[in-house]
């Protein structure tokens, strides 16, 4: 049994939360900050865009495949130990990224960086949930949820300024001092753990099935559009990944100490919460791809102007997420989380009404709506999820919740690009000139926004099924 301080006796809990916030922001920031650097890296290292996109994809794939594995390991050897070591691994990976002279070394360094990010992401929610009582858990998770969104959504804007001022390596080496400070800070502030359960066996077979199945599936989805969805490589990749993941599920039901405790899905609040979160991030991350394309290709705004408009989302979240978390401690999670997804759906519907002459402030106002909706949804949803599981399984639950978030990002980005291309091709078959015009592009983007609105509404319906269910104290 780990011996993190009980919530009632932990007078340092807000300082602990500050450290968790640093790690959360730093890890999620690097999931998106590299997006804006890809053209510069491509030119600097003399590689194609198809190659350089793996700077982002390798990072997200590594995190997605490792989160449940690290969550399980953390429950065995201690959440704070793994979390704090993640700072150093992340800082080393960042340093290697900034010094990489070739694309191969940069991608490998991003994998190392992602290992450190996984170590932090898998444990941040578990440490917070175990540090704070049920009366304060929602507010605390609201702050960490705010840091997740701030990291993910401010990445392009921050990256753009750093690249213009200091070059593309600066987006990586800026993490080095932050990682070292976070590590030293955590040594003094995070509670110590004793009585670690090293005697438990580890499910190596299940871990291997999950990692290979997830990587092959996400790799196939990421390349499905370029390969062709009915091509042999795509079909083989999908079949192999499904077989491996089905084997993983079968293995986990038989293993004495499974890597991923699938019995968590018997907990209604956990299953509906993670499902709603997955759908939320699928829909939300269409904006990180589609809005910049829309503003640059159809409205002809500069990249820096696009970055400024994108800041509207996290600015609103800074205010809304902690308030929403605080409210969820008093009135429950269902109303807030469900309302947040409905607001997101209305935001997508409103975006689909914009044409080829929308102004900067109008678009920024629309993006602020998503800050409101996601701020209302994320903290109460995370509080509901983490409050529903036994304390001994907080590491696994936190890792799986972070996994769902990253899978939602990847799927949202991939499906939005695929849907956009499919719609443009359909328009081109009947009117080639329209497909090449800003009006045709806007028509295709509107299709993506409507699909995102529907996804958000499905998530809201799923979230609403939690009504009447209670979290554990």
DSSP 51-106: HHTHHHHHHHHHHHHHHHHHHHHHHHH-HHHHHHHHHHHHHHHHHHHHH--SHHHH
Say what the pLDDT of residue 1 is.
Answer: 38
Say what the pLDDT of residue 459 is.
Answer: 92
Mean pLDDT, residues 121-145: 72
Rounded Cα gap, residues 311 and 203, in angstroms: 43
Rounded Cα gap, residues 346 and 122, in angstroms: 32
3-state secondary structure 216-230: HHHHHHHHHHHHCCC
φ, ψ for residue 136, nearest 5 deg: -120, -5
Return the closest-CA partner of residue 405 out of 4, 6, 32. 32
Dihedral sign, CA of 469, 270, 136, 311? negative
Give the C-alpha distances (Å, rounded to integers) separating 286 from 83, 252, 306, 404: 30, 33, 15, 16
3-state helix, strand, coil in the chain (%, to 5): 80, 0, 20
pLDDT in tens, 185-220: 878 777 766 545 544 566 778 778 887 887 788 778
Min mean pLDDT across 27-41, 74-88, 313-327 is at 27-41
Query: Is 364 a residue whose pLDDT tops 60?
Result: yes
Rounded Cα gap, residues 226 and 449, in angstroms: 22
Tell me 194's DSSP state. -
User: Who's near 440: CB < 8 A, 6+ residues apart?
Assistant: 424, 427, 431, 434
What totals of helices (H) and strands (E) does the chain contain, helices first?
19, 0
Query: Is 266 a residue whose pLDDT tops 60?
Result: yes
User: Who's near 275: CB < 8 A, 6+ residues apart?
Assistant: 459, 462
Rounded Cα gap, residues 401 and 148, in angstroms: 12
232-235 LR contacts (CB < 8 Å, sep 24+) = none
Say what the pLDDT of residue 451 is.
Answer: 93
Angle between helices 103-131 and 13-32 (to 10 degrees): 150
Contact 174, 361 (CB under 8 A): no
Looking up tokens 């978390």 gives: 325
Say what the pLDDT of residue 106 is.
Answer: 92
φ, ψ for residue 269, nearest 5 deg: -65, -35
Say what the pLDDT of residue 113 is.
Answer: 92
Q: Which of 191-200, 236-245, 357-366 has the highest mean pLDDT?
A: 236-245
Burial 76-100 (b: 16+ CB within 10 A, else e): bebbbbbbbebbebbbbbbbbbbeb
| Global confidence as pTM | 0.71
Rounded Cα gap, residues 110 and 114, in angstroms: 6
Say what the pLDDT of residue 4 is.
Answer: 46
Mean pLDDT, residues 61-82: 78
Angle between helices 360-386 and 137-166 (to 10 degrees): 140
Return the closest-CA partner of residue 400 out of 260, 256, 280. 260
Say what the pLDDT of residue 110 is.
Answer: 92
Query: Is 87 a residue whose pLDDT tops 50?
Result: yes
Contact 137, 56 (CB under 8 A): no
């Amino acid at each position: 049994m780990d011996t993190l301080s009980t919530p009632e006796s932990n007078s340092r809990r807000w300082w602990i939360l500050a450290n968790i916030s640093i790690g959360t922001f730093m890890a999620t920031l690097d999931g998106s900050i590299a997006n804006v650097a890809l053209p510069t890296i491509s030119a600097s290292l003399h590689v194609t865009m198809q190659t350089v996109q793996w700077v982002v994809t390798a990072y997200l794939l590594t995190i997605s495949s490792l989160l449940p594995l690290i969550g399980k390991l953390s429950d065995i050897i201690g959440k704070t130990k793994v979390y704090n070591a993640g700072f150093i691994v992340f800082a080393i990976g960042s340093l290697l990224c900034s010094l990489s002279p070739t694309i191969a070394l940069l991608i490998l360094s991003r994998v190392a960086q992602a290992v450190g990010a996984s170590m932090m992401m898998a444990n941040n929610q578990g440490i917070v949930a175990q540090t704070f009582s049920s009366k304060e858990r929602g507010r605390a998770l609201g702050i960490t949820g705010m840091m997740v969104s701030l990291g993910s959504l401010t990445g392009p804007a921050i990256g753009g300024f750093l690249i213009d001022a200091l070059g593309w390596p600066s987006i990586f080496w800026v993490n080095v001092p932050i990682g070292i400070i976070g590590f030293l800070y955590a040594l003094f502030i995070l509670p110590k753990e004793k009585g670690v359960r090293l005697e438990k066996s580890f499910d190596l077979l299940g871990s291997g099935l999950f990692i290979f199945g997830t990587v092959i599936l996400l790799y196939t989805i990421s390349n499905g559009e370029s390969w062709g969805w009915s091509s042999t490589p795509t079909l083989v990749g999908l079949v192999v990944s499904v077989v491996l993941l089905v084997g993983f599920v079968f293995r986990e039901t038989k293993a004495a100490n499974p890597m991923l405790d699938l019995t968590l899905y018997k907990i209604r609040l956990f299953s509906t919460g993670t499902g709603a979160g997955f759908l939320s991030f699928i829909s939300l991350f269409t904006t990180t791809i589609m809005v910049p394309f829309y503003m640059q290709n159809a409205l002809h705004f500069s990249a820096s102007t696009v970055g400024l408009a994108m800041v509207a989302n996290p600015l609103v979240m800074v205010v809304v997420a902690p308030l929403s978390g605080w409210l969820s401690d008093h009135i429950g999670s269902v109303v807030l989380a469900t309302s947040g997804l409905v607001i997101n759906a209305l935001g997508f519907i409103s975006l689909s009404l914009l044409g080829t002459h929308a102004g900067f402030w109008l678009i920024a106002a629309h993006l602020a709506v998503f800050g409101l909706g996601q701020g209302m949804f994320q903290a109460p949803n995370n509080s509901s999820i983490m409050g529903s599981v036994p304390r001994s399984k907080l590491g696994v639950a936190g890792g799986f919740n972070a996994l769902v978030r990253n899978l939602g990002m990847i799927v949202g980005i991939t499906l939005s690009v695929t849907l956009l291309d499919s719609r443009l091709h359909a328009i081109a078959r009947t009117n080639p000139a329209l497909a090449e015009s800003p009006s045709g592009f806007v028509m295709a983007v509107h299709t993506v926004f409507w699909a995102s609105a529907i996804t958000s509404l499905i998530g809201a319906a799923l979230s609403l099924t939690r009504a009447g269910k209670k979290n554990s104290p």
